[in-house]
Amino acid sequence: MKKLWAFGISGTRWFLGMTFFTAGMSKLMPFIGWIGPTWLIERLEEYQLGMYARFIAISQVLIGLLLLTRRFATLGAVMLVPMLLNIFMITVSQNWAGTPYIIAVLLLMNAALLADEYPRLRLLLGDDPRQLPTGIPLRRQPGLDGAWGASFAVFMLGVVLVPYISWYQWLLGAGGLGFVGLSLYSLRMRWRQRSQLAPGKATDLSPSA
């Protein structure tokens, strides 16, 4: 039963992550996506709200990416709550047929993610702040964390700059940066393995617990 629940949570997280990542990207550039509207920016620009529409789209991309990661999925689920509530109220006030029910289902799916993350979130609900952990989280690979953070920042910068560059240039740039990043990571891992296999050094390559 626990394995089935874990599988369902992972599937829900990936579904919501891909849904909102593609929803935001399809508003910014030609991109696949099943939830709209893709014309949001163009329509709101008529009312001088184009920047607000881009902010919504970029926020959806950010939330989607966070949900697709294991480390920041909790933060993505928390950020998704106001996003979904905002969409729900807009669709209700505009009398969109059927859409409020779809958003309500997405809210329930996100509630399941938050329920699964209760062991983390319960620290925020306590009355005594002294119960919160005060130590610095242990990171075994700070260099890799920095590379991941830099790649994430570059990607989001590219998303912000979409209105100022053509979409195919953005795709080429993102693809090129991804290839360079993977190549550097591969070279780093090879260098690390060779250094561990060098004479006089330990040969234990098992991952750290």
Average pLDDT estimate for 47-71 = 89
Q: Please check whether residues 110 and 162 belong to one and the same domain.
A: no
- Examine residue 135 and state whether it is found in any structural domain, yes or no: no
Those residues with Cβ within 8 angstroms of residue 99's Cβ, 6 or more apart along the chain or in another chain: 91
Q: What pTM value is reported for the model? A: 0.73
* Number of structural domains the chain divides into: 2
- Examine residue 115 and state whether it is found in any structural domain, yes or no: yes
Q: Please check whether residues 167 and 106 belong to one and the same domain.
A: no
Flag the least confident range among 115-124, 149-158, 180-189: 180-189
Q: Which residue segment(s) compose the domain that 16 sits in? A: 1-123
- Examine residue 208 and state whether it is found in any structural domain, yes or no: no
Query: 120: how many CB neighbours lie within 10 A of its CB?
Result: 12
CA 144 to chain centre: 18
pLDDT tens figures, 76-127? 999 999 999 999 999 999 888 888 999 999 999 999 999 999 888 877 776 6
- Examine residue 139 and state whether it is found in any structural domain, yes or no: no
Contact 85, 100 (CB under 8 A): no
- Examine residue 136 and state whether it is found in any structural domain, yes or no: no
Q: Please check whether residues 182 and 93 belong to one and the same domain.
A: no
User: Alpha-carbon distance 160 to 114, whole Å?
Assistant: 28
User: Alpha-carbon distance 107 to 115, whole Å?
Assistant: 12
Q: Please check whether residues 19 and 106 belong to one and the same domain.
A: yes
Closest by CA to 106, choosing from 39, 53, 159, 34, is 34
Q: Grade residue 203 by pLDDT with cuts at 50, 70 and 90.
A: very low
Q: Please check whether residues 45 and 148 belong to one and the same domain.
A: no
Contact 68, 14 (CB under 8 A): yes
Q: Please check whether residues 84 and 152 belong to one and the same domain.
A: no
Q: Please check whether residues 107 and 154 belong to one and the same domain.
A: no
Closest by CA to 9, choosing from 169, 157, 116, 164, is 116
| Structure confidence at residue 199 (pLDDT) | 60
Q: What type of residue sits at position 200?
A: G
Those residues with Cβ within 8 angstroms of residue 93's Cβ, 6 or more apart along the chain or in another chain: none
Choice between 153 and 198, residue whose per-residue pLDDT is larger: 153
Q: Which long-range contacts (CB under 8 A, 24 or more apart) does 30-39 make?
A: 30/167, 35/102
Average pLDDT estimate for 170-184 = 70
- Examine residue 1 and state whether it is found in any structural domain, yes or no: yes
| Structure confidence at residue 167 (pLDDT) | 66
Tokens 């561990």, residue located: 196
Q: What are phi and psi of 158, to 5 degrees?
A: -60, -40
For the chain, the average pLDDT equals: 80
Those residues with Cβ within 8 angstroms of residue 107's Cβ, 6 or more apart along the chain or in another chain: 81, 84, 85, 88
Query: Please, what is the Cα angle at 142 between 138 and 147, to 5 degrees?
Result: 140
Domain boundary among 89, 123, 157: 123
- Examine residue 175 and state whether it is found in any structural domain, yes or no: yes
Contact 121, 74 (CB under 8 A): yes
